[in-house]
Amino acid sequence: MKTLTITRPDDWHVHIRNGEMLRTVLPYTAKQFARAIIMPNLKPPVTTVEQALLYRDEILKTVPVDLEFTPLMTLYLTAATTENEIKKAAESEHIHAFKLYPAGATTHSDSGVADIKAAYPQFAAMEKHQIPLLIHGEVTDEHCDIFDRERVFIERYLLDIVKHFPELRIVLEHVTTSDAVQFVESASTNVAATLTPQHLLYNRNALFVGGIRPHNYCLPVLKREHHRLALVKAATSGNSKFFLGTDSAPHLTTLKESACGCAGCFTAPIAMELYAEAFESANALDKLEGFASFYGADFYRLPRNTDTLILAKTTWEVPASYGKDNLSITPLKANESLSWQICNQ
Ligand code: NCD
Ligand code: ZN
């Protein structure tokens, strides 16, 4: 059987929630990845070092005993975040970044930042204390077409942010457009981006194949094919500014299959399989290891992993759902087949 062995990867953007949902989804991430940047958009959001450390303890208690997994915590930036908290976060070995959600941009973002310019003193503090800023890069202007929101965010805010804070390390999360790729490529080495499997594999037609497809709906929303091609090119280019971040975002099946379905694709159990498929389609399996296992660690100034992950070329079917009956989560590609599978270690 054809296999692919790579250094164990990390997930630089994942939602694992808390409580029962955490217990359901975390083992899937821990099986695939050695470490993950944990998104702080809980209800209520994780805004202080103290809360992040408590959340970290909850996660560590949930890691299956036979797996090694390190959660890398982040804090949710609000208008009330103080320089003292930013300093404390930068000094903590467990906190690795702040996350900026424009208020109202996505799931649990209502406590996010409404006036981005007003957050400049906080960006200055992050630059000074050398802690990265992770950005959900979409404007929330209801008059802006939803497919243009990432491009407009770059034009309206991001160009000015990188100009004002040249030493601030920024990750533009889950990039979805050729505009974002171009922006990241032409910015300094302090600017990087994560790429999700769904944005590498699908264009916006996937939202409407024979009817509305809630499990393919996430934010930023899937874009046109030419954008997808630009993302695949960036991911498979070997450019270290582009690295893996699944944005796996579990929601109950009932909350996605609803009159107002939640945004987020659940990909944790099949993440590396999806990336392998995307890279293989681009004839670039040799570029997967840098993207999945090296560049993110380098950007976050963490050591690269030393153990390995093996993927085997074999066809298998993605389950219809994960989790118990009262907590059923439908993954991306439910009931569809995949051509790679990670091997049990
Ligand atoms: C994420 C979630 O559900 O928390 N949803 C999503 O569509 N990606 C939030 C986010 O990252 O935007
Ligand atoms: Zn996310």
For the stretch 215-242, pLDDT in tens is 999 999 999 999 999 999 999 999 999 9
Nearest to 332 by CA among 320, 316, 314: 320
DSSP letters spanning 106-169: STT-TTSBS-SGGGHHHHHHHHHHT--EEE------TTS-GGGHHHHHIIIIIHHHHHH-TT--
Would you state the pLDDT for residue 325? 82
| Residue 276 identity (one-letter amino acid) | A
Structure tokens, 95 = 């906190």
In the chain, the number of structural domains is 1
Which residues fall inside 5 Å of ion ligand 2, going by CB? 247
What number is the average pLDDT over the span 253-282?
98
pLDDT value for 107 = 76
Q: What is the mean pLDDT of the chain?
A: 97
296: pLDDT strictly greater than 90:
yes
Does residue 247 have its Cβ closer than 6 Å to ligand 1?
Answer: yes
Count of residues making up the chain:
345
Ligand 1 nearest-atom number relative to CA 217:
7
Among candidates 119, 135, 107, which has minimal Cα distance to 41? 107
Ligand 1 pocket member 338 (CB < 6 A): no
With a 6 Å cutoff on the Cβ, whether 263 touches ligand 1 is yes
The separation between CA 273 and the C-alpha centre of its own chain, rounded to angstroms, equals 16
Question: Measured from the CB, is residue 14 less than 6 Å from ligand 1?
Answer: no
Q: How far is the CA of 219 from the centre of ligand 1 (A)?
A: 6
User: How much is the average pLDDT of 332-344?
Assistant: 96
Q: Is the pLDDT of residue 1 over 90?
A: no
> Is the entire prediction scored with pTM above 0.85?
yes
Q: What is the mean pLDDT of residues 121-129?
A: 98
Q: Domain of 51?
A: 3-342
User: Which residue among 106, 150, 330 has the greatest number of ligand 1 atoms within 8 angstroms of its CB, and so is best to mutate?
Assistant: 106
pLDDT at 341 over 80: yes
- Tell me if 218 CB under 6 Å of ligand 1: yes
Specify the residue with its C-alpha closest to ligand 1, atom 6: 264
The enclosing domain of 317 has a CATH number of 3.20.20.140
Integer Cα distance of 72 and 111 in angstroms? 22
Q: What's the pLDDT score for residue 198?
A: 99
pLDDT computed for residue 144 by the predictor: 97
Which of 16, 74, 175, 219 has most ligand 1 atoms within 8 Å of CB, for mutation? 219
47-52 contacts at long range (C-beta below 8 A, 24 or more positions apart): 47/75, 47/76, 47/77, 47/78, 47/80, 47/81, 47/85, 47/111, 48/75, 48/85, 49/75, 49/85, 49/88, 49/89, 49/92, 49/95, 52/89, 52/92, 52/94, 52/95
Q: What is the pLDDT of residue 338?
A: 98
CA of 23 to the centre of ligand 1 (A): 19
Q: Which tens digits make up the pLDDT trace of 128-187?
A: 999 999 999 999 999 999 999 999 999 999 999 999 999 999 999 999 999 999 999 999
Sign of CA dihedral 343, 3, 215, 246: positive
User: Ligand 1: distance of its center to the CA of 251 in Å?
Assistant: 10
Both tokens assigned to 204 = 């916006």
**265: Cβ–Cβ under 8 A, 6 or more apart, which residues?**
196, 198, 215, 216, 217, 218, 247, 248, 249, 331, 332
Q: Is 196 in the pocket of ligand 1 (CB under 6 A)?
A: no
Please give the distance, rounded to the nearest whole angstrom, from the Cα atom of residue 118 to the centre of ligand 1: 24
CB of 10 sitting under 6 A from ligand 1: no
Mean pLDDT of 269-290: 98
Q: From edge to edge, which strands make up the β-sheet containing 170-172?
A: 11-14, 35-38, 70-76, 95-100, 133-135, 170-172, 191-195, 242-244
Q: Per-residue pLDDT for 345 more than 70?
A: no
74 lines ligand 1 (CB under 6 A): no
Nearest ligand 1 atom to alpha carbon 250: 3
Smallest Cα–Cα separation from 321: which of 309, 333, 334? 334
- Paired strand residues for 99: 76, 134
Active site residues: 247
Tell me the CA–centroid distance for residue 309 and ligand 2, in Å: 24
Is 199:234 a contact under the CB 8 Å cutoff? Answer: no
Pocket residue to mutate for ligand 1, from 176, 218, 221, most atoms within 8 A of Cβ: 218
